[in-house]
Amino acid sequence: MENTLLDDFDVADIKIPMTKVEFLNWNPDDGFLYEYDGEYAEQLHAMQNTERYLVRNIQKQFQSTNAFQEGHWLFEETECWLTSQQMRRPDMALFSDEQIRESTAGGHPVPAFVVEIISEHDKANKIEKKVGEYFRAGVQVVWHVYAELRMVRVLLSPRSLSSLFDADVVSAAPAVSDLQLTVDALFAL
């Protein structure tokens, strides 16, 4: 078996020192996405093609909500500046119509609801660190979707979480009171 230098590295461990200005003017063309945390660009994996069905199922259910009718959108892998020095890129993030307009004017609104699809590339300490960051910034609901386990964790705070399986109902309330579906429906191909 051939060994390469990259076999020894995990993308989640790669941090590139740079200022925020450098990050904002940087256009990497290496096929990875990046988040910004203070003084580092942090490399991460993009959503996998095998996870598209999860996004489809969430988006399909979201399109039947009052929030969607009012102009809210669930964006995929979009920049979310949680503070002036910290940008995260959740797999899905909810922005209201007003927040979308604020963004076009240069603002950095915080989404009320985010979805993270957890894969083998994600490290537990990084996942938990982001939970704290999201709630400190004002996110109301976080979903952690574990495809391999067919499980969803719904977090309403760093201390309030539910692990859901099978026919359990996954809800985005209070951020989107009428966005709900069963775990089985979420994982339906």
Q: What is the CATH number of the domain that holds 119?
A: 3.90.1570.10
Q: Examine residue 29 and state whether it is found in any structural domain, yes or no.
A: no
Q: Examine residue 136 and state whether it is found in any structural domain, yes or no.
A: yes
pLDDT beyond 90 at 113: yes
Q: What's the domain count of the chain?
A: 1
Strands (E), the chain: 15-17, 33-37, 40-44, 73-76, 80-83, 86-88, 92-95, 113-118, 141-146, 151-157, 160-165, 169-172, 176-182
- State how far the Cα of 41 lies from the Cα of 43, in Å rounded to an integer: 7
Q: Examine residue 41 and state whether it is found in any structural domain, yes or no.
A: no
What does the pLDDT read at residue 45? 85
pLDDT beyond 50 at 8: no
pLDDT beyond 50 at 5: no
% of the chain beyond a pLDDT of 90? 86
Residue 61 phi, psi dihedral angles, 5° rounding: -70, -40
pTM: 0.91
- State how far the Cα of 16 lies from the Cα of 105, in Å rounded to an integer: 29
State the pLDDT confidence band at 46, using cuts at 50, 70 and 90.
confident
Q: Examine residue 27 and state whether it is found in any structural domain, yes or no.
A: no
Residue 122 phi, psi dihedral angles, 5° rounding: -85, 135
pLDDT beyond 50 at 51: yes
pLDDT beyond 60 at 100: yes
Which residues, other chains included, contact 150 with Cβ-Cβ below 8 Å and sequence gap of 6+?
A: 165, 166, 183, 187
Please answer whether residues 93 and 172 qualify as being in contact, where contact means their C-beta atoms are separated by less than 8 angstroms: no
| Average pLDDT value for residue range 101-125 | 95
The CA-to-CA distance between both ends of the chain, in Å, stands at 35
128 half-sphere exposure, CB direction, 13 A CA radius: 5
| Average pLDDT value for residue range 55-62 | 98
What does the pLDDT read at residue 10? 57
Q: Examine residue 30 and state whether it is found in any structural domain, yes or no.
A: no
Residue range of the domain that includes 129: 48-186
Q: Examine residue 145 and state whether it is found in any structural domain, yes or no.
A: yes
Q: Examine residue 12 and state whether it is found in any structural domain, yes or no.
A: no
Please answer whether residues 122 and 12 qualify as being in contact, where contact means their C-beta atoms are separated by less than 8 angstroms: yes
Residue 8 phi, psi dihedral angles, 5° rounding: -85, -5
Q: Examine residue 131 and state whether it is found in any structural domain, yes or no.
A: yes
Tell me: the pLDDT tens digits for 64-85? 999 999 999 999 999 999 999 9
What does the pLDDT read at residue 1? 36
